[in-house]
């Protein structure tokens, strides 16, 4: 998704306007830092990814011809730096947990519209979502982040990752179901229903004679990506309306995806990172003036 002034700043930056370029990079800083943080799982690595990505963008802006969106270009570059970070730290632990940013916590606690219990529950769900996304294998995590957190279209995700749209959607469905299964207990869904809803299509087919439920979660995820016909969609709706268990499963997936869409809102770029990136960019721009 492009910012309203992106095109204006981009055109001026391509013409050599350093101030417009700096403004464009400043607008994209949080976006790149957030992606780096969730992919690398380390604040210091996320800072390096943001800095390296924005400098690469500054270096290549005059050659950018708009064949892709700015977001697609930016995520492609950021992803390459994330991969480099992952390779360099291959002997380090696979994942490192993140402490909640103190400023974000203070802002939440200062919200007078929410009581202590609601704030605590919200933080638990948010932390569980972060951990669930972080536990995904990188190939699934990046698809979920780009599609459901950052809001790129499936074709745009495929362009960033060098995958077919079908491969993107296949990974996306799996990632969604894994994250939903981890969040389901916190979303008010009993563990036994969670386990039952996670049964795959093959198992459902094998038990069809016993009137087993279809794989409603995969079907619902595919429906969101326009992969099922109107007839199949209607049949899914009829089944969900008559089955409390499957209705609860679909509701929990809806809530999971809603949480993903707002996941980036709570990620703020620490002031020291903003300062470090700004200094690095100004040094680069000064050297290339």
In a domain, 113, yes or no: yes
192 has pLDDT over 50: no
| CA-based nearest residue to 280, from 51, 115, 107 | 51
At a CB cut-off of 8 Å and minimum separation 6, what does 32 contact?
Answer: 49, 50, 53, 54, 74, 78
120-162: pLDDT as tens digits: 456 788 888 999 999 999 999 999 999 999 999 999 999 999 9
* Per-residue confidence (pLDDT) for residue 165, from 0 to 100: 97
Residues 155 and 255 in one domain: yes
Spatial distance between the Cα atoms of 263 and 215, rounded to a whole number of angstroms: 27
- Cα–Cα dist 250/183, whole Å: 13
Could you count the other beta carbons within 10 Å of the beta carbon of residue 190? 12
160 found inside a domain? yes
Q: In whole angstroms, what is the distance from residue 123 CA to residue 119 CA?
A: 6
| Of 260, 213, 218, residue with least CA distance to 238 | 213
**Same domain for 273 and 199:** no
The whole-number average pLDDT for the span 206-233 is: 82
pLDDT in tens, 83-96: 998 887 653 444 43
Distance, in Å, from the CA atom of 204 to the CA atom of 211, rounded to the nearest integer, reads 9
CA distances from 203 to 116, 199, 217 (A): 43, 6, 14
What domain range includes position 113? 102-266
Whether 82 and 106 share a structural domain = no
Residues 66-71 have a mean pLDDT of 80
| Alpha-carbon span 15 to 18, nearest angstrom | 9
Q: Per-residue confidence at 230, pLDDT binned at 50, 70, 90? A: very high
Helix axes 18-40, 6-14, angle to 10 degrees: 120
Give pLDDT, residue 125: 82
3-state helix, strand, coil in the chain (%, to 5): 75, 0, 25
| DSSP per-residue codes, 140-168 | HHHHHIIIIIS---HHHHHHHHT--HHHH
Which of 23-27, 53-57, 230-234, 275-279: highest mean pLDDT? 230-234
117 falls in which pLDDT band (50, 70, 90)?
A: low
Residue 258 shares a structural domain with residue 120: yes
Does 115 share its domain with 243? yes
Q: Is residue 95 part of a domain?
A: no
Structural domains counted in the chain: 2
CATH (domain of 146): 1.10.10.10
Return d(Cα 173, Cα 221) in angstroms, integer: 6
Give the single-character DSSP code of 184: G
Nearest Cα neighbor of 134 from 169, 183, 170, 192 is 183
Q: Say if 45 falls within a structural domain.
A: yes
Residue 10 shares a structural domain with residue 108? no
Instruction: Report if residue 78 sits inside a domain.
Output: yes
Q: Same structural domain for residues 152 and 242?
A: yes
State both tokens at 215.
């794989």
Q: Assess contact for 161 and 79: CB atoms under 8 A.
A: yes
Q: Is the pLDDT of residue 27 over 50?
A: yes
């Amino acid at each position: 998704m492009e910012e309203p002034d992106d095109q204006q700043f981009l055109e001026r930056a391509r013409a050599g306007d350093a101030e417009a370029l700096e403004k464009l990079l400043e607008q994209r800083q949080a976006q790149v830092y957030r992606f780096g943080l969730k992919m690398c799982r380390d604040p210091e690595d996320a800072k390096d990814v943001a800095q390296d990505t924005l400098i690469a963008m500054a270096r290549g802006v005059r050659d950018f011809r708009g064949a892709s969106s700015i977001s697609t270009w930016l995520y492609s570059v950021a992803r390459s730096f994330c991969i480099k970070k992952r390779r360099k730290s291959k002997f380090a632990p696979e994942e490192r947990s993140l402490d909640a940013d103190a400023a974000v916590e203070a802002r939440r606690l200062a919200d007078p519209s929410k009581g202590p219990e609601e704030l605590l529950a919200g933080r638990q769900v948010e932390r569980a979502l972060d951990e669930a996304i972080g536990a995904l294998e990188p190939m699934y995590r990046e698809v979920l982040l780009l599609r459901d957190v950052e809001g790129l279209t499936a074709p745009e995700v495929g362009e960033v990752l060098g995958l077919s749209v079908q491969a993107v959607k296949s990974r996306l469905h799996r990632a969604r179901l894994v994250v939903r299964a981890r969040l389901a207990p916190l979303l008010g869904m009993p563990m036994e229903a969670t386990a039952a809803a996670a049964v795959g299509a093959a198992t459902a087919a094998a038990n069809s004679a016993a009137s087993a439920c279809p794989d409603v979660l995969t079907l619902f995820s595919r429906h969101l990506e326009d992969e099922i016909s109107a007839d199949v969609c209607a049949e899914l709706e009829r089944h969900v309306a008559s089955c409390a268990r499957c209705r609860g499963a679909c509701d929990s997936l809806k809530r999971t995806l809603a949480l993903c869409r707002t996941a980036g809102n709570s990620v703020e770029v620490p002031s020291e990172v903003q300062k470090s990136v700004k200094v690095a960019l100004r040094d680069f721009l000064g050297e290339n003036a």
